């Protein structure tokens, strides 16, 4: 459905939004929430020690390093597509009833075909049922939304269009002026005007693959953006500038990768798609009776 010509917009030089990175205090809660709750899969090959964790989401990932600084405050939302939202919601409610998220910010608000979840770390994640929004697979990282100061949408859109060669438009989203940036097939990053700010997104970052790696690095450096050391086909930068004035608009962490990077399109192991949804037993053997989750008797 989403791969027909009318539903396949141009992508541009940013080819693939590969991961979203934020720090976690430890891996225990991450395992409970992301694997046992959301049904995602820990990457068994990369980031497997106690200092970092790779969580596979179809062809994308979350990277969850442990550095001892704690999870940062994040003014935004990470959007994921999942094959069966009802089952995910059932599992999360079972875990919550068992006290897994006690004394954390965890919350779940069901929407029409989505659920807005405040993770135990305070990072907000919106889960969309597969088929309800454009996606290549029934499991994946669909978008990242950032809050940004009023009056910044035009400059941000111009920056990604002129400097990074990505389709970028100013649209109305959730009632606010928004710079909407294409970052891969059916993958979007949105910058939503949310008041005066300031907003600082440097302690989280997105990772993207680009087609013109060296040209992109030189273009950013020519604007006066510190691009950091180039290593193994990747570099980091964290400022968005207005290409017309050269003024800093927003601080946002970026990891930019070449298609020669060893992780480019590396096959990722996922428990979805499967004949049966992972951890289905949480939804099937537990029933919500008299305000609590109770084992089924059949």
Domain count, the chain: 1
Polymer length of the chain: 298
Q: Is residue 241 in some structural domain? A: yes
Q: Is the pLDDT of residue 296 over 70?
A: no
How sure is the predictor about 194, in pLDDT bands with cuts at 50, 70 and 90? very high
Q: Is residue 1 in some structural domain? A: no
The 8-class DSSP code of residue 54 comes to E
Residue 284's H or E segment, with its range, is helix 280-284
How sure is the predictor about 298, in pLDDT bands with cuts at 50, 70 and 90? very low
Query: What percent of the chain shows pLDDT beyond 70?
Result: 89
Which pLDDT score, from 0 to 100, does residue 180 have? Answer: 98
Q: For residue 263, how far is the Cα from the chain centroid?
A: 17
123 phi and psi angles, rounded to 5 deg: -70, 125
Q: Is residue 297 in some structural domain? A: no
Which pLDDT score, from 0 to 100, does residue 1 have? Answer: 56
Q: Is the pLDDT of residue 274 over 80?
A: no
Which pLDDT score, from 0 to 100, does residue 288 have? Answer: 54
Q: Whole-number mean pLDDT of the chain?
A: 91
Which pLDDT score, from 0 to 100, does residue 104 have? Answer: 97
Q: Is residue 5 in some structural domain? A: no
Q: Is residue 7 in some structural domain? A: no
Which pLDDT score, from 0 to 100, does residue 271 have? Answer: 85
* CATH number where 159 lies: 3.10.180.10
142 within 8 A of 57, measured Cβ to Cβ: no
Q: Render pLDDT for 5-46 as a digit per residue (tens, 0 to 9).
A: 566 788 999 999 999 999 999 999 999 999 999 999 999 999
Strands annotated E in the chain: 14-21, 41-42, 54-57, 60-63, 76-82, 107-110, 114-118, 124-129, 140-148, 168-173, 176-182, 188-193, 200-210, 234-241, 248-257, 286-289, 292-295
Find the domain containing 153 and state its range.
14-287
Q: Is residue 4 in some structural domain? A: no
The 8-class DSSP code of residue 176 comes to E
Q: What is the pTM of this model?
A: 0.91
Which pLDDT score, from 0 to 100, does residue 3 have? Answer: 63
Q: Is residue 9 in some structural domain? A: no
Question: What distance in Å separates the CA atoms of residue 261 and residue 280, rounded to the nearest whole number?
Answer: 36
Q: Render pLDDT for 195-219 as a digit per residue (tens, 0 to 9).
A: 888 899 999 999 999 999 999 999 9
How many other CB atoms are there within 10 angstroms of residue 246's CB atom?
9
Question: What distance in Å separates the CA atoms of residue 117 and residue 109, rounded to the nearest whole number?
Answer: 6
Contacts of 152 (CB under 8 A, 6+ apart): 179, 191, 193, 249, 250
Q: Render pLDDT for 83-123 as a digit per residue (tens, 0 to 9).
A: 989 889 988 998 999 899 999 999 999 998 899 999 999 99
Q: Is residue 298 in some structural domain? A: no
Question: What distance in Å separates the CA atoms of residue 126 and residue 162, rounded to the nearest whole number?
Answer: 30
């Amino acid at each position: 459905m989403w791969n027909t010509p009318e539903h396949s917009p141009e992508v541009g030089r940013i080819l693939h939004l590969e991961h979203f990175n934020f720090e976690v205090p430890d891996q225990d809660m991450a395992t409970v929430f992301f694997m046992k709750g959301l049904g995602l899969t820990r990457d068994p090959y990369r980031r497997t020690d106690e200092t970092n964790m790779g969580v596979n989401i179809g062809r994308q990932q979350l990277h969850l390093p442990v550095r001892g600084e704690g999870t940062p405050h994040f003014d935004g939302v990470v959007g994921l597509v999942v094959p069966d939202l009802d089952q995910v919601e059932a599992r999360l409610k079972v875990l919550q009833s068992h006290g897994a998220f006690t004394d954390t910010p965890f919350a779940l608000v069901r929407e029409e075909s989505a659920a807005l979840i405040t993770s135990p770390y305070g990072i907000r994640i919106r889960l969309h049922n597969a088929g309800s929004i454009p996606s290549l697979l029934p499991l994946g990282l669909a978008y990242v939304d950032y809050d940004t100061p009023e009056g910044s949408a035009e400059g941000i859109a111009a920056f990604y269009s002129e400097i990074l060669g990505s389709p970028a438009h100013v649209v109305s989203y959730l009632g606010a002026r928004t710079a909407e940036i294409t970052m891969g097939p059916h993958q979007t990053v949105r910058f939503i005007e949310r008041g005066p700010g300031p907003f600082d997104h440097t302690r989280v970052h997105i990772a993207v693959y680009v087609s013109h790696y060296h040209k992109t690095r030189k273009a950013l450096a020519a604007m006066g953006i510190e691009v950091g050391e180039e290593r193994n086909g990747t570099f980091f930068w964290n400022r968005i500038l207005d290409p017309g004035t050269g003024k800093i608009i927003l601080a946002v962490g970026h990891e930019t990768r070449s298609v020669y990077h060893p992780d480019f399109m590396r096959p990722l192991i996922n428990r979805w798609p499967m004949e049966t949804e992972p951890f289905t037993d949480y939804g099937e053997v537990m029933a919500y009776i008299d305000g609590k989750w109770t084992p089924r008797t059949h």
